Amino acid sequence: MSYQVLARKWRPRTFHELVGQEHVVRALTNALDRQRLHHAFLFTGTRGVGKTTIARIFAKSLNCETGVSSTPCGECGACREIDAGRFVDLIEVDAASRTKVEDTRELLENVQYAPNRGRFKVYLIDEVHMLSSHSFNALLKTLEEPPPHVKFLLATTDPQKLPVTVLSRCLQFSLKRLPTALIAAYLEKVLAEENVPCQGAAVRLIARAGDGSMRDALSLLDQAIAFGAGRVEQAAVAAMLGSIDRRRVVGLLESLAANEASTLLRQVAELDEMAPDYAAVLAELLSLLQQIALIQAVPEAVSADGMAEPDELLRLAGLLPPEDVQLFYQIALLGRRDLPLSPEARGGFEMVLLRMLCFRPVLLEHPTVVESSPQAPAPGRVMVQSIAAPTPVVPVAAGESPGSPPPGPDAEWSVLVEQLGLSGMAKQLALNCALIARDGADFHLALTPAHAQMFPKTIQERLRAALEQHVGCPIKLRFQIGDLAVATPEDQRKQRRTERQQAAVEHAEQDPHVRAIKEMFDADITAIRPLEDDHQ
């Protein structure tokens, strides 16, 4: 017995077996059950989403010997012959190979004759947009007023090329691209029925490579089974698809987070030995950044379908600040667009990563004076791009240490947060809380409604555990949601940065050397940053 490919073997034969496209199935089943049948239907959508499959099921529903309904029996002669592709009253036409007007006229000559076996004579015209303008003109009259025993089912991937006169004569159904999670679930069902061992990560790779097309995904699954000698494993599927190990992309993100340019370039050199498609690497980086941003905004999304390696994603979400994630995503998106314009793919990819490092906001730890301009200055004019000014000494009141926050519950909480040794999202929770009151081991904290949605119970429990370890006894932690009456540690940090920045600007403006440079070269100061920054 010859082997039948999975895309044909697992083609749905009833509306109930269809995966997705519920909006189309609902309309067609209601029309069949209520006997309100139009004479022309147009199915549009990308390849492999079920256009001809739905058309064949609809033809079977029309000609089933048990009667017209949305549930054909599948056992009668008409149903079996339609499934086998040899039903005489189902005329399938490939418009791509029959574009001439003579072919269309020959096809329509038999429209007037009654069906041979079935209840209706069904014309299924695939890729109908490929017909010539003369062929459309020949079809129009018949399409508008066909005999009662004729139904037209048209399918196309490009409905924009159809004349509006044809569109106006059809009921149009737009089929959607299938979600990756839906494709992956169906592929796992197929593999279970076929008794093929598989790994979930490998199935997700195939589903994503299907790009919304179930037929493409099933074809890739066939290829993966052959490539893996009867098994579907992540390493084999990645090698077959030419995709890179996700861990390499994670390594690139970790180097970006650590601001290590040398490590980053070394990883790119190791990656280049695999001769990767750098556009695909950027696409994988974009996908990872999108998932990290989603988790940072909605932590509960880590359990959503399609989220791979949730623990790793949570770790990266705590490692990268949200503003860095957004910046990296935008740079990678623009870099993917510009990559074909670069003289060499690896060089273009390295420039994208270096751009992420250069434009990333970095806190200065050492005195730096930058007096260079990105382009040659005009004669007689010098632009000072950045000046790092020393932070003026601010008088400290008696009993206070320099740099210490003012006394009060907010100051106590600010000091305590730095002693807890938290990191990631737990530290962000602590920084954005305000201490309302403390009675021994009883902590009463406040959060704004916006911040409360960003920190689930799991993050709050991490904060409780850190406090108990610091205090040395069980604590009671209460959260109050509402407007804050006192400043949070994050608010205090921002306020201190603002004050130092303002003091640095005033100091630079009063510096006689800076004034002399400005007057001598007609220079402009574009940026001033204090040497000492808040690292709390």
Judge whether 529 lies within some domain.
yes
Determine the average pLDDT of the residues in 425-432.
82
Q: What confidence tier does 11 reach under pLDDT thresholds 50, 70, 90?
A: very high
**Can you give the three-state secondary structure of 415-481, one letter per residue?**
HHHHHCCCCHHHHHHHHCCEEEEEECCEEEEEECHHHHCCCCHHHHHHHHHHHHHHHCCCCEEEEEE
Of 118, 146, 174, the one marking the end of a domain is: 174
d(CA 370, CA 386) in angstroms, rounded, equals 5
d(CA 60, CA 43) in angstroms, rounded, equals 16
Location of structure tokens 């097309």: 213
Location of structure tokens 């409360």: 452
Q: What confidence tier does 197 reach under pLDDT thresholds 50, 70, 90?
A: very high
202 and 350 both lie in a single domain: no
195 and 296 both lie in a single domain: no
CB 154 within 8 Å of CB 170: yes
Judge whether 350 lies within some domain.
yes
Judge whether 169 lies within some domain.
yes
Q: What pLDDT was estimated at residue 385?
A: 42
Q: What pLDDT was estimated at residue 244?
A: 77
- For 131, the enclosing helix (H) or strand (E) is none
Q: What pLDDT was estimated at residue 410?
A: 64
88 and 123 both lie in a single domain: yes
Determine the average pLDDT of the residues in 483-489.
78
In tens, the pLDDT along 384-394 reads 444 444 444 43
Whichever domain contains 334, its CATH number is 1.20.272.10
Return the top range by mean pLDDT from 92-101, 287-296, 504-513, 518-527: 287-296
* Ranges 161-165, 273-277, 360-364, 471-475: which has the least confidence: 360-364
Determine the average pLDDT of the residues in 327-340.
93
More confident: 502 or 400: 502
Residue 463 has pLDDT above 80, yes or no: yes
- Taking CA atoms, 489 is separated from 100, 414, 463, in Å, by 75, 5, 15
Q: What pLDDT was estimated at residue 532?
A: 54
Q: What pLDDT was estimated at residue 439?
A: 81
Report the relative pairing of strands 150-156 and 171-174 from DSSP bridges: unpaired
162 and 14 both lie in a single domain: yes
Whichever domain contains 462, its CATH number is 3.30.300.150
Residue 450 has pLDDT above 90, yes or no: no
Q: What confidence tier does 6 reach under pLDDT thresholds 50, 70, 90?
A: very high
Residue 536 has pLDDT above 50, yes or no: no
d(CA 114, CA 121) in angstroms, rounded, equals 7
Judge whether 439 lies within some domain.
yes
More confident: 56 or 405: 56
214 and 266 both lie in a single domain: no
Determine the average pLDDT of the residues in 293-320.
76
166 and 199 both lie in a single domain: no
- Specify the DSSP class assigned to residue 384: B
Backbone angles phi, psi at 387, to 5 degrees: -125, 125
Q: What pLDDT was estimated at residue 376?
A: 42
Judge whether 395 lies within some domain.
no
d(CA 61, CA 78) in angstroms, rounded, equals 10
Q: What pLDDT was estimated at residue 1?
A: 52
236 and 275 both lie in a single domain: no
Domain assignment of residue 214, given as a range: 180-241
Judge whether 402 lies within some domain.
no
Report the relative pairing of strands 476-481 and 387-389 from DSSP bridges: unpaired
CB 452 within 8 Å of CB 462: no
Q: What single letter denotes the amino acid at residue 299?
A: P
Q: What pLDDT was estimated at residue 341?
A: 92
Report the number of distinct structural domains present in the chain: 4
Helix axes 51-63, 22-33, angle to 10 degrees: 10
Of 156, 174, 192, the one marking the end of a domain is: 174
Q: What pLDDT was estimated at residue 425?
A: 79
Q: What confidence tier does 149 reach under pLDDT thresholds 50, 70, 90?
A: very high
Whichever domain contains 135, its CATH number is 3.40.50.300
Q: Give the chain's mean pLDDT.
A: 83
342 and 297 both lie in a single domain: yes
Judge whether 219 lies within some domain.
yes
More confident: 486 or 295: 295
- Specify the DSSP class assigned to residue 203: H
CB 351 within 8 Å of CB 492: no
Of 137, 158, 174, the one marking the end of a domain is: 174
Judge whether 302 lies within some domain.
yes
Residue 523 has pLDDT above 80, yes or no: no
Residue 302 has pLDDT above 80, yes or no: no
CB 441 within 8 Å of CB 471: yes
150 and 12 both lie in a single domain: yes
336 and 431 both lie in a single domain: no
Residue 78 has pLDDT above 80, yes or no: yes
Q: What confidence tier does 363 reach under pLDDT thresholds 50, 70, 90?
A: very low
Whichever domain contains 198, its CATH number is 1.10.8.60
Residue 283 has pLDDT above 70, yes or no: yes
Residue 405 has pLDDT above 50, yes or no: no
Residue 266 has pLDDT above 60, yes or no: yes
Name the 3-class secondary structure at 196: coil
Backbone angles phi, psi at 297, to 5 degrees: -85, -40
CB 126 within 8 Å of CB 152: no
Q: What single letter denotes the amino acid at residue 170?
A: C
87 and 208 both lie in a single domain: no
Q: Quick one: how far is CA 289 from the chain centroid?
A: 9
Q: Which two tokens stand for residue 519?
A: 């007057």
Determine the average pLDDT of the residues in 223-242.
89
525 and 481 both lie in a single domain: yes
Name the 3-class secondary structure at 210: coil
Torsion of CA 230, 232, 236, 242, to 10 degrees: 120
Query: Rg of the Cα trace of the chain?
Result: 33
More confident: 413 or 251: 251
* Ranges 59-63, 123-127, 286-290, 356-360: which has the least confidence: 356-360
Q: What pLDDT was estimated at residue 384?
A: 40
Give 384's strand partners: 525
